[in-house]
Amino acid sequence: MGRSAGMFEALEGGGAAIALDGIEISILRSLAVQLLELIGPGAPEPEEDADPLAVLFAEGNQGPTERPSDPALIRLFPDAYGGPGPEDRKVDPAELAARSAEFRRFTENDLRTRKREDALAVVRSLDGLAPEGDEGSAVLELTGELPLRWLGALNDLRLTIAARLDITEDDESAVLFRLPDDDPRKPMVMAYLWLGGLQETLVETL
């Protein structure tokens, strides 16, 4: 039974599958590799039988305390405090910044590791695909933890592209669907919308 191009469909027994042609495979893999380069290294691998608390508080395992300067990294690793919530608005901004720095110090490296593993899962999944002929497609099947890995990576890719386009979900429809074909942002916009479709149909299979 054939599969709809560009859409994830549920597999019997769990998981998801999608038919991808050579160009789609190449674009997805390239985006995932670029995401890996942007994220950078995560937390070092702990020694076998290491005490989890000792690993957490070890100086070499602690992450940065400063907010990233790259807008894409700010989207991927936002401050834990200082958002629009009513509780945050009651606290002194300097105190919120200190809380965010401390939270980032103990969580960002692990978060980077998880995001790297998600992006690596995408690359490795695609490396095993071989479309038939110049215009053929290959079926990618995701089972076990792979659907969630892919879901995380697709979300991170969309956040990164949204940062590069300087858009938010609130102005997405107004901005993206009205760009003329000769706008230099058009290819990135098309990739953003395509990734959104992949993400939506993958969510529906879970």
Give 96 or 50, the one with higher predicted confidence: 96
When pLDDT is cut at 50, 70 and 90, the band that residue 1 belongs to is: very low
pLDDT of 155-187, one tens digit each? 999 999 999 988 776 655 566 667 778 888 788
CB atoms within 10 A of CB 162: 20
Tokens 């995932």, residue? 32
When pLDDT is cut at 50, 70 and 90, the band that residue 200 belongs to is: very high
Q: What's residue 65's pLDDT?
A: 64
* Cα–Cα dist 176/193, whole Å: 8
Tokens 């400063």, residue? 66
Average pLDDT of the chain, as a whole number? 81
Nearest to 152 by CA among 194, 192, 199, 93: 199
Q: Which two tokens stand for residue 101?
A: 């720095």
pLDDT of 75-129, one tens digit each? 888 877 665 555 555 667 777 778 777 777 777 888 888 999 999 999 999 998 8
Give 14 or 177, the one with higher predicted confidence: 14
